[in-house]
Amino acid sequence: MTEKRHLLSILVDNEPGVLSRIVGLFSGRGYNIESLCVAETMDPAISRITMTTRGNPMIIEQIKKQLNKLVNVLKVFDLTGQEYVQREMVLIKVTAVQQHRAEILRITDIFRGQVVDVGQDHFTIKITGDNEKISAILSLLRPFGIREIARTGSIALFREKK
Amino acid sequence: MSKLTGAQILMEMLKEEGVDTIFGYPGGAVIDVYDELEKTDINHYLVRHEQGAVHAADGYARASGKVGVCLVTSGPGATNTVTGIASAYMDSIPLVVFTGQVPTKLIGNDAFQEVDIVGITRPCTKHNYLVSDVKNLARKVKEAFHIARSGRPGPVLVDLPKDVVNATTNFSPPGEISLRSYNPTYEPNIKQLKKVVSLIRTAKKPVVFSGGGVVLSKAHEELTEFARKGQIPVTSTLMGLGAFPGTDPLWLGMLGMHGTYRANMAVTDCDLLISVGVRFDDRVTGKTDEFASQAKIVQIDIDPTSIQKNVQVSVPVVGDCKISLRQLNELLETEECSDRAEDRQEWLAQIDEWKRTTPLAYKQEDIIKPQYVIDKLYELTKGDAIITTEVGQNQMWAAQYYHFREPGRFITSGGLGVMGFGLPAAIGAQVGAPGNLVVDVAGDGSIQMNIQEMATAVQYNLPVKVVILNNCFLGMVRQWQELFYNKRYASTQFHHTPDFVKLAEAYGAKGLRAKTPDEVEKVLSEGLAHPGAVIMDFVVEQEECVYPMVPAGAPIKNMLLV
Ligand SMILES: Cc1ncc(C[n+]2csc(CCOP(=O)(O)OP(=O)(O)O)c2C)c(N)n1
C-alpha cells in the first residue's frame, strides 16, 4: 500500500489538554504529523486543527477513526481528494547582498510576496500560498542563502459548491 | 437548591449513579472526601495498595455488570492506579477512578504529592477530567459515568483538587447529558447485516470468532442462538471465554498462541470468519498475512477503530454486538435455507477429526501436573465458580481446562497481562457477586505482586480461594527460555519463596498444601468448602509447558504440540 499525504481539518472542543490528546495519539501510535495549525473558530468554544499527515490508506483510515474516538473531537474532515482551498504563510530571511537585491525583489514580486524587514545584507520576505508555491520560491531563493524560515503550516477550507 | 461542598456533591452524584461500593485508599488530598463518604451508606473497601483497588473495581465491574469505582489520594496514590487503569482500558472495563489533587493554586508548582495524573493517564483512559471549578463537578461526574459505561466501555479518571472538594456551590443534579462529540453507534447498518447473511448462505466452512465485546454487551444468548441456527462452530479470544458454552459440541476452544489445535486449524482453513467483539490482537492472529487468509472476514464491533486495524475485513459492521446478533438471528429466521446441519456435515466432521487426533492433553504422573489441578477444580466446582487469574502459564491453563459456560465467570487481565491482577480482582468479584465461589488461579510469581490484599479479604470476610500452581519459576518466561533460548533460565527461577501456608495463616486466612497427585482433590475439597479466605499451594511439575504454542509472530497453524 502506498503512502500518501493527507490534509485533515479537525474541529475540537476549545479546552485545555485537547491538543495534547491529539498529539499524544499520534506519538503513541507512531503516526506522522508533518504540519499542524490550531486556532479558534467563529464559535469560541470550538477550535480548528489543520494537520498534514502521511500514511497508507489503512493507516489514514485508522487515524481518522482514532481522532473521531476522542471525546473532545467533534468532526474530522479529510480534505485530500476533495475540492478545497489551502494556504500557508512563510517568513523567509534571505541573505541579500548588494548585487542580488534587485533579483530577490523581482522574485518576491513574481510570487506576490512582501518584504517585511530589511537590513544591510538581508531581507525578510513574507509569502502566502499553497505548498507548491512555497517550495518554488524557497528553491529560487536558496542560492542567495536562506538564513532562517518560519512556516505556519497549512490551513484549509472546503470550497463551497458554486 | 442547597449549598453543598464539592465532597457532598460527589456523594450526591455517586448515589444518583447507583454506586454502593468503592475500593480505595485515603490520603491528605482526599481526606475531606473520605470524611463525607463515612456519612453515607456506600460500602468502602480499604485495600492495601491502590493497584489492588483498581483491579478489585475491575473484578467487581465484570462480576456485577456495574461500573467499578475507586477513590485514591494525589501523587503516589494516583500513580499506583496507573497499571490497573491501563489494564481496564485494554480490556474495556467500565471504571471511574477518583484521584485527589493538590489545591488548584498549587498545580504546576511541584507541590507535595502533586503529579499530573490527567497527563499520565491520557493514553490509557477512555477519557479523563481535571475538575477545576466546583460548579462543574456534578456534571463532570455524570459525564464520567456515562462515558465509562456506554459504547465500548472503559476507565475514566476524575482528578479532584482539594480546594474544589472543599468549595461550596448551589447544587442541583444535572439532568440527562448529551455530549455533542460522543455518540456511540449501537444500531448496525441493516445492509451490512444482509451481506453477512448472504455470505453465511454460501459458506462451506464458516467459523464464529467471538471476543470480549460479546461478554461486555451481554450478547451471549444471541451468540449461542446465532451459532446453533447457522450450525457454525465457535472459537473465542481469552476475553471472550464463557460467552459461548464451553461444553457445546460447536465449541472449538480458544484461538491463538495457546489456542486449541482444532480452533487454530479451523480458522486457518475457514472460508468465512464471522468475528464479533474482537480486536484481532497479535496473540490471537499470529502472523496476520496468514490469518484466515482464505476467508471472507466479517467484523462486528461497536468501536470503529477496532475494525480494519490489524486485518483487512470484507464486511465491517459498526454496532453493538447484542443488537447486531439479534438482528442477524431475525434475518436468518426468515431465510429460506436448506438443512444447515446437513450442509455443515463435512466441515464439522473435519473439526471433530482435528479434535480427536490432537486434543488438549497432559499426562498425570508422579508429580502434580498444573493442568490436573485445574481439571479437578473444574470437576469439583462443576464449572460454576468465578475464576480470576494471574498472568502466565496459570492463566493459560485456567483458560484451557476450565470450561466456562457463562460470561462474567472468567476474569483475567487479557490485554495488558498484569501479574498481580488475580487476587484483588477476586476480591472485587466476590464483592460484586456475593454468594458465588470465587477462585484466583495463580502462579507463585504473580501472587507475590499483590499478596498484601489477603489482608483485605480477611478484614471484610471475603471467602476468596487462591489456588497457587507453584512451580518455583516465572513459568511462562521460563517456557520461552526453554523453547527459544536453549534453556538459559535467566532470572526466572525463584531460589527463595515464602511458605504460602504460613503466609496465609499470618494473614488470618487458611493455608493448605498438596505435594502429591493424590492430595490434590483432598486439598481442593477442603479449601473450597472452607467458609473464609484460603490459599492452596500446589507443588507442581516445575518445567511443564503450555501447549499448543504458536511462536510469537508465526502463523497460528504452526503449533508446537506436546
Ligand atoms: C507486572 C508484570 N511483570 C512482568 C510480566 C512478564 N511475565 C509474564 S508471565 C510471567 C511469569 C509469571 O510467573 P508466575 O506468576 O509464577 O506464573 P506461571 O507462568 O509460572 O504460571 C512474567 C514475569 C507481566 N506479565 N506482568
CA of B25 to the centre of ligand 1 (A): 26
Which residues are within 8 A (CB) of A113 and not within 5 positions of it... i.e. 6 or more apart? A107, A125, A126, A127, A137
CB B328 within 8 A of CB B226: yes
**Grid coordinates in use for B300?**
462486528
pLDDT score, position B225:
97
Count the helices and strands in chain B (H runs, E runs): 23, 20
pLDDT digits (tens, 9 = 90+) for A90-100: 999 999 999 99
Inter-chain CB proximity B126 and A71 less than 8 Å: yes
Q: Phi first, then psi: give them for residue B529, nearest 5 degrees.
A: -80, -15
Q: What is the mean pLDDT of residues B43-61?
A: 98
> From the alpha carbon of B494, which atom of ligand 1 is closest?
16
Strand-pairing partners, residue B310, are: none
* Average per-residue pLDDT for chain B: 96
CB B400 within 8 A of CB B425: no
Chain centre distance of CA B469: 20
CB of B181 within 8 Å of a chain A CB? The answer is yes
CA atoms within 13 A on the CB side of A62: 19
Inter-chain CB proximity A65 and B181 less than 8 Å: no
pLDDT score, position A162:
76
Least confident span in B178-187, B382-391, B506-515: B178-187
Assigned superfamily of A86-155: ACT-like. Chain A, domain 2 (3.30.70.1150)
Query: Is the pLDDT score of B56 beyond 80?
Result: yes
Q: Which residues of B touch A72 (CB under 8 A)?
A: 181
Q: Is B477 in the pocket of ligand 1 (CB under 6 A)?
A: yes
pLDDT score, position A161:
83
B contact test, residue of A43, A64, A66, A69 with most B CBs within 10 A: A69
Q: What ranges do the domains of chain A cover?
A: 4-78, 86-155
pLDDT digits (tens, 9 = 90+) for A33-62: 999 999 999 999 999 999 999 999 999 999
CB B442 within 8 A of CB B533: no
pLDDT score, position A4:
95
CA of B422 to the centre of ligand 1 (A): 12
CA dihedral for B248, B252, B254, B260, sign (positive or negative): positive
Give the residue on B whose Cα is nearest the Cα of A26. B123
CB B129 within 8 A of CB B140: yes
Query: Is the pLDDT score of B337 beyond 70?
Result: no
Helix (H, G, I), strand (E, B) or coil at B211: coil
- Domains of chain B, CATH where assigned: 2-171 (3.40.50.970), 190-357 (3.40.50.1220), 370-539 (3.40.50.970)
The model's confidence at residue A131, banded by pLDDT at 50, 70 and 90, is confident
**Grid coordinates in use for B14?**
455517586
Cell 511443564: give the residue. Answer: B544
In angstroms, the CA B381 to CA B383 distance is: 5
pLDDT score, position B562:
80
Q: Do domains A4-78 and A86-155 have the same CATH topology?
A: yes
Q: What is the mean pLDDT of residues B235-246?
A: 98
Assigned superfamily of A4-78: ACT domain (3.30.70.260)
pLDDT score, position B51:
98
**Grid coordinates in use for A83?**
475540492
**Grid coordinates in use for B346?**
463435512
- Return the amino acid letter for B82: V
Inter-chain CB proximity A74 and B130 less than 8 Å: no
Q: Is B497 in the pocket of ligand 1 (CB under 6 A)?
A: no
pLDDT score, position B138:
98
pLDDT digits (tens, 9 = 90+) for B80-107: 999 999 999 999 999 999 999 999 999 9
State which H helix or E strand residue B438 sits in. strand B438-443
Beta strands at B410-411 and B95-101: parallel, antiparallel or unpaired: unpaired
* Average per-residue pLDDT for chain A: 95
Q: Which residues of B touch A71 (CB under 8 A)?
A: 126-127, 147, 179, 181-182
Q: At what angle do helices B393-401 and B370-381 cross, to 10 degrees?
A: 40
In angstroms, the CA A134 to CA A112 distance is: 11
pLDDT score, position B336:
60
> From the alpha carbon of B469, which atom of ligand 1 is closest?
21
pLDDT digits (tens, 9 = 90+) for B164-175: 999 999 999 998
B170 class by beta-carbon count within 10 Å (0-12 exposed, 13-18 middle, 19+ buried): exposed
Inter-chain CB proximity A65 and B305 less than 8 Å: yes
Share of chain B above pLDDT 70, in %: 99
Of the candidates B122, B308, B309, the beta carbon closest to that of A20 is on: B122
Q: What is the mean pLDDT of residues A136-149?
A: 97
CB B18 within 8 A of CB B39: no
**Grid coordinates in use for B188?**
448496525
B562 class by beta-carbon count within 10 Å (0-12 exposed, 13-18 middle, 19+ buried): exposed
Query: Is the pLDDT score of A156 beyond 60?
Result: yes
